[in-house]
Structure 1
Amino acid sequence: MSAHPLHVAVIVASTREGRFGPTVAAWFAGEAGGRTDLDVEVVDLAEPSTVTKKLAAADVFVVVTPEYNHSYPAPLKAVIDNHFREWLAKPVGFVSYGGLSGGLRAVEHLRPVFAELHAVTVRDTVSFHGSRACFGPDGRPLDPAVSGAAARVLLDRLTWWGLTLRDAHRARPYVTA
């Protein structure tokens, strides 16, 4: 691990019974955890007592979200709206999953929400279309080359933004008013 790795919060956005989010989040956390420049922690919104502390510690966020009714889950909206400083001038990446759209409509709804919080969303995403059919019984993608390549691109972009913004935060506070 590098001397000062970025702390990455991988957020499991769904809290529904029978949800697939923990499977996708565990896979992505494993991909990120293989890097020496990142320290990864899963933040499960189904465990609300630990959310604020874990968000506050993060340098970088990855939201693992399904698409519900062409948008993102209500528990994620509540967590976003109940926090401000945690997101401020930090990068946010997305791993989405779902049916035909692979959760991409949820991601597109999240981008302006995070922009309002002065967070920087990363263009590159990881998306699983027909997500349950994309993973084997071991919780790993059936096509690890494609999903792994997408994860590496996302992590590279998030790391660049994370280091840049963390250095900027240390040099001078972000102006909020």
Structure 2
Amino acid sequence: MNTTTPAQAPLKLAVVLASNREGRFGPVVADWFLSRAALRDDFAVDFIDLGETELPSALSYRPGPEVRAVLDKVTPVLDGADAYVVLTPEYNHSFPAVLKSLIDWHYGEWQAKPVGFVSYGGMSGGLRAVEQLRQVFAEMHAVTVRDTVSFHNAGAHFDDEGNHRDPAGPDAAAKTMLDQLAWWASALRGAKAVHPYGA
């Protein structure tokens, strides 16, 4: 007999890899982060790779069958999540267009849920993309956590097997971000159980 109550059940965490460029470095960072998230007993993790999801940028109130097929895979994961981690590179001082498409194709799924960020890039480590995403997710009624995991000149920090050359710093940053995400996700899940958001 399962005696776990909804409040005690693991939090559902949806990790979104935002890069879809050919030759992208994102999967290396994603594998690293997913291995850290897997060590947590408080999260059950789902993974969405936008490089493998043909999501068009043109929005429609009546999406065609091809778009509907994509949304039928992605939307239930986003809707069922208690929290999100967006793993994003920085393209031209911003975040990838495919990520904006994912955000814009959804609305209620994001509401009253926390979002954390893992970013990577050159000198900025993707932090300019993260700052813009904070504004976008605020419009979605989501809560972004303060601390991020950021990889400056990311390619130089991982070996050929995808291991970080000096993991202490990023491991600590990931723990801090996931701790904050867990607190917000648990608090908001409990609050919504008592009083649905927007009701």
After TM superposition, the score normalised by the length of structure 2 is: 0.85
- Say which SS state the counterpart of residue 95 (structure 2) adopts: coil
Q: State the match for 1:65 in structure 2.
A: 88
Give secondary structure in 1 for the equivalent of 2:29: helix
1:143-169, Cα deviation, whole Å (9 max, x unpaired): 110110000000000000010011111
Matched, 1:127 2:127: no
- Residue 98 of structure 1 is matched in structure 2 by 121
Of 34, 43, 46, 2:39 maps to 34
Deviation for aligned residue 1:79: 0.5
**Matched residues in 1 for 2:153 and 2:173: separation?**
17
- How big is the shift at 1:53? 2.2
TM superposition shift of 1:47: 2.8
TM alignment of 1:1-177, pairs within 5 A: 3-48=8-53, 49=70, 50-175=73-198
Partner AA of 2:123 in structure 1: L
2:34 partner letter: A
Aligned residue identity for 2:42: D
Amino acid at match of 1:60: A
Contact 1:45–1:51 (CA<8 Å) still a contact in 2? no
* Separation in structure 1 between the aligned mates of residue 163 and residue 81 of structure 2, nearest angstrom: 26
In structure 1, the gaps of 5 or more residues are: none
C-alpha distance in structure 2 between counterparts of 1:61 and 1:169, whole Å: 17
Structure-1 separation of matches of 2:29 and 2:15: 10
Q: Which moved more, 1:138-147 or 1:90-99?
A: 138-147
CA contact (8 A) 1:29 1:41 kept: no
Structure 2, gaps ≥5 residues long: 54-69
Give aligned pairs, total: 175
TM-score normalised by structure 1 residue count: 0.95
Alpha-carbon distance between aligned partners in 2 of 1:51 and 1:26, rounded to the nearest angstrom = 20
Aligned-residue offset at 1:86: 1.0
Cα separation, 1, equivalents of 2:12 and 2:31 = 16
Q: Give 1:5's aligned amino acid.
A: P
Offset from partner CA, 1:13-59 (integer Å, 9 cap, x none): 01111111111111111101101111111111123333222211211
RMSD, matched Cα:
1.2
